Amino acid sequence: MTNRIAFQGEPGAYSHQACHAARPGLEALPCASFEDVIDAVREGRAEQAMLPVENTTYGRVADIHRLLPESGLHIVDEAFVRVHINLLAVPGAEVSDIKEAWSHLVLLPQCARFLRDHGIKGRVSPDNARAARDVADWGDKSKAALASELAGEIYGLDVLARHIEDHDTNTTRFLIMAREPDMTRRADHMMTTFVFRVRNIPAALYKAMGGFATNGVNMTKLESYMVDGSFTATQFYADIEGHPDDRNVQLALEELEYFTSMLEILGTYPADPMRD
């Protein structure tokens, strides 16, 4: 079977672009939902999953932190991908022809200046790659899509304007997940991700975090979210620098475990160079 990496979205989506960039040797498998991506790996139809977890412009990807611990998969890598937005249209069209630009709701505000300067109305599409496909199907020179260059290649559209986003820092962080964990130390700069729930004692979270400070472990992310539909059942998601075999990480995790009712390591993996 051909090695595959599953992603959520249609061909040409930014998750598809991430697959090309981070795993060029794997065939990208489009899936309708994040749950379908996870199932594709669990069922053996794909070797790995490419899942977005956060974006510098619109923050955390909804529901993804809830899905990760329940997935049964393990984080084996991360990938930071710059989101460059391009104006795509049918061959022969020019920027002056464009009256409407279609894309996902979160992308439209990121190109507000360009759209305003060129008198183009933004229109909402369920997905940026879907927008590119629709523009190709319509064959109308007055309609364009805001999407990746990859989407333009797939659907035969011309790039009328490149990198039209208002800010040049828009980046999405993806986690690459697999059925089996890889706990080997395969880079000098390693990251470890885990989830936990604190015990029901006063100042439990404060005490649990103390071990990371006293042992010099840098925590790059700590987020809380409700579980089981309860306001009192809170789970925490954390990223730290280091490997579980590092002595300071060992000590910090041991102290954390004392104050938690659940602690699960989701994976340890090389830090993406864009972190630095």
For the annotated catalytic residues, the residue numbers are 172, 174
Helix (H) or strand (E) run with residue 150 in it: helix 149-155
Q: Which residues contact 246 (CB under 8 A, 6 or more apart)?
A: none
Q: What angle do the packed helices 247-258 and 204-214 form, to 10 degrees?
A: 170
Residues 6+ apart with CB under 8 A from 136: 90, 155, 156, 157
Using CA atoms, how far apart are residues 49 and 54, in angstroms rounded to an integer?
16
CA distances from 120 to 123, 152, 155, 170 (A): 9, 19, 22, 22
The set of residues, in sequence order, having a beta carbon less than 8 Å from that of 179 and lying 6+ positions away, is 41, 42, 44, 72, 73, 74
> Tokens representing 86?
């391009």
How big is the chain, counted in residues?
276
Local structure of 57: helix, strand or coil: coil
Cβ count near 254 (within 10 Å): 11
